[in-house]
């Protein structure tokens, strides 16, 4: 019996132990919907990392349950007795929650998925987006609940199942389902071809056919299939090695003198070989599935190439918002402004943020740079806002001149900083917002920032007049005055 235990322990990494994974197929069968989010002034913007952190906290389940005050909760309901019906993770938005934008619902779900299913942030957010689409369908069609185990149906309030389209109805009235299935081989792996197919169907409905997003997803999908192939090869090798080992042990045992111990060992070996044969049959099914997924990927690449050509895709990212700043007052020599997001396709007002400063707001992908107070409001800093929700993605630790111009160029952000009553141009890393360099010469605080291929031009003051100075873009070292 000890020998059998040893044999089975080697089989464990590739055994048919049931593991939970998200049921991508059912998630991806839903069509994109338009959610109504809060529009208007954002008074106390949240930090994106804190919002994602809510989901990560919820992943610390205790006896299948976790909660954060009366704001959010998570219930894991697993039913291993009936694999024809879905198990589920149930995410609840409780009555004291103040989440008011679907993007932040997705961020919370993304944080949970990152931890619970060991997914990368980008893939987690993609899955979270489809969880919201799926649950809008659950709200409109309660019959979807019949696809779930009785244990799940008994654990959810039918009146709260899914999510409404209006943010006002979310608190205390939302229980979202993340369908789970028991997978025999690859367990928690998600991101099947169905996931990408359904996502592509939705993206193709947009004006640009979602070619940028589809390209990113297909690249991620290709990497996932490569990893699946490696995992499958390792599983086949391990299965073969264990089979040969058990067969050799069985042959050796057969040569022993008859005894109860000999019969017990032969019986154990027969059971082990039966399990290994069953495992190999499951691996062959996975191999056929992988071959089919590779064929679909090749077709999707051809389709994407065709759509890129038809929409004249340039590779340049564009935002669906325009940003407008207007003067609202002055406080301690700081010009305060109101930042407004204008939705391009509807020409309507999105979110509004008062209390920003600075002369302009450079767009950075889907986000925007502005000047805004740090958490303790001791200084104004460079702030990267989410371009849709105005939540804070990150802030610089270095304070800046509140009324500065801002500019972004090839991964660098430029702003005027103040040290001991003197002003300099600072160069910051666009991702970390860490200060990289500053000019040695002082600059005029309200200078514009003109950037060429390798130079930056600024206004400098000698106390009597303003002069234009040229600096090296690389390290902000002074070159000469422009005369």
Q: What value does the mean pLDDT take over residues 374-398? A: 93
| Whether residue 16 has pLDDT greater than 50 | no
| Whether residue 2 has pLDDT greater than 80 | no
What proportion of the chain, given as a percentage, has pLDDT over 70?
Answer: 86
pLDDT in the model for residue 407: 93
For residue 414, which of 332, 334, 359 has the smallest C-alpha distance?
359
Domains along the sequence of the chain with CATH? 19-183 (no CATH), 322-481 (2.130.10.10)
Query: Could you tell me the sign of the dihedral formed by the alpha carbons of 111, 115, 116, 122, in that order?
Result: positive
Q: pLDDT digits over 145-156, tens only?
A: 998 899 999 999
- Rounded CA-CA distance 70/60 in Å is 17
pLDDT in the model for residue 43: 83
pLDDT classification of 29: cutoffs 50, 70, 90: low
* pTM, to two decimals: 0.71
pLDDT in the model for residue 160: 95
- Rounded CA-CA distance 443/467 in Å is 10
Mean pLDDT, the chain, integer? 84
pLDDT in the model for residue 94: 96
Q: pLDDT digits over 194-218, tens only?
A: 345 545 655 566 677 767 767 767 7
| Whether residue 382 has pLDDT greater than 70 | yes
Backbone phi, then psi, for 198, in 5-degree steps? Answer: -65, -40
Residue 183, CA distances (Å) to 87, 120, 137, 196, 354 in order: 12, 20, 25, 19, 50
Tell how strand 174-183 and strand 65-68 pair up: unpaired
pLDDT classification of 264: cutoffs 50, 70, 90: very high
How far is it between the farthest Cα atoms of the chain?
110
Q: pLDDT digits over 288-303, tens only?
A: 878 987 888 898 889 9
Q: pLDDT digits over 66-87, tens only?
A: 999 999 999 998 887 877 788 8
User: Which is more confidently placed, 30 or 465?
Assistant: 465
Give SS3 for 271.
Answer: helix
Q: What value does the mean pLDDT take over residues 242-270? A: 92
Q: pLDDT digits over 92-140, tens only?
A: 999 999 999 999 999 999 999 999 888 888 888 878 887 887 888 888 8
Q: What value does the mean pLDDT take over residues 237-253? A: 93
> Rounded to 5 degrees, what angle do the CA atoms 7, 8, 11 make?
100
Q: pLDDT digits over 324-345, tens only?
A: 888 888 888 888 988 888 887 7
**Residues β-bridged to residue 455:** 472
Contact of 113 with 55, CB cutoff 8 Å: yes
For residue 153, which of 102, 100, 87, 209 has the smallest C-alpha distance?
87
pLDDT in the model for residue 315: 66
Residue 306, CA distances (Å) to 193, 209, 269, 298 in order: 20, 11, 56, 13
Residue 151, CA distances (Å) to 14, 117, 160, 161, 275 in order: 29, 22, 16, 15, 30
């Amino acid at each position: 019996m000890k020998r059998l235990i040893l044999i089975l322990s080697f089989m464990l990494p590739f055994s048919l132990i049931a593991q939970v994974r998200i049921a991508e197929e059912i998630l991806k069968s839903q069509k994109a919907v338009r959610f109504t989010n809060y529009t208007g002034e954002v008074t106390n913007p949240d930090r994106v990392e804190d919002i994602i952190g809510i989901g990560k906290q919820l992943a610390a389940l205790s006896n299948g349950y976790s909660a954060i005050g009366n704001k959010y909760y998570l219930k894991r309901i697993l039913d291993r007795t009936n694999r024809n019906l879905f198990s589920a993770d149930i995410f609840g938005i409780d009555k004291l929650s103040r989440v008011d934008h679907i993007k932040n619902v997705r961020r919370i779900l993304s944080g949970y998925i990152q931890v619970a299913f060991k997914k990368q942030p980008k893939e987690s957010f993609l899955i979270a987006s489809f969880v919201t689409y799926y649950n809008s369908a659950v709200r409109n069609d309660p019959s979807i609940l019949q696809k779930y185990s009785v244990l799940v149906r008994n654990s959810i309030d039918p009146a709260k199942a899914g999510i409404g389209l209006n943010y006002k109805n979310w608190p205390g009235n939302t229980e979202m389902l993340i369908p789970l299935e028991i997978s025999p081989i690859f367990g928690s792996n998600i991101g099947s071809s169905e996931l990408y197919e359904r996502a592509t169907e939705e993206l193709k409905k947009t004006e640009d056919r979602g070619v940028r997003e589809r390209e990113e997803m297909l690249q991620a999908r290709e990497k996932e299939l490569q990893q699946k192939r490696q995992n499958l090869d390792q599983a086949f090798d391990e299965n073969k090695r264990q089979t040969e080992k058990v067969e050799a042990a069985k042959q050796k045992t057969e040569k022993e003198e008859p005894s109860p111990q000999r019969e017990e060992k032969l019986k154990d070996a027969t059971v082990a070989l039966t399990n290994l044969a069953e495992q190999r049959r499951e691996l062959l099914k996975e191999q056929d599935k992988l071959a089919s997924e590779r064929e679909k990927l090749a077709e999707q690449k051809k389709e994407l190439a065709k759509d890129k050509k038809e929409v004249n895709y340039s590779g340049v990212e564009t935002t669906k918002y325009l940003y407008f700043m207007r003067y609202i007052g002055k406080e301690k020599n700081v010009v305060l402004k109101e930042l407004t997001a204008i939705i391009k396709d509807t020409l309507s007002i999105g979110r509004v943020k008062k209390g920003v400063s600075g002369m302009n707001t450079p767009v950075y992908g889907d986000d925007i740079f502005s000047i805004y107070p740090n958490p303790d409001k001791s200084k104004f800093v460079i702030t990267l806002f989410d371009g849709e929700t105005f939540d804070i993605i990150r802030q610089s630790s270095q304070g800046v001149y509140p009324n500065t111009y801002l500019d972004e160029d090839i991964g660098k952000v430029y702003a005027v900083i103040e040290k001991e009553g003197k002003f300099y141009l600072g160069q910051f890393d666009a991702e970390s917002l860490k200060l990289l360099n500053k000019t040695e010469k002082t600059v005029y605080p309200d200078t514009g920032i003109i950037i060429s291929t390798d130079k930056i031009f600024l206004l400098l003051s000698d106390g009597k007049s303003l002069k234009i100075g040229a600096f090296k873009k690389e390290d902000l070292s002074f070159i000469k005055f422009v005369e």
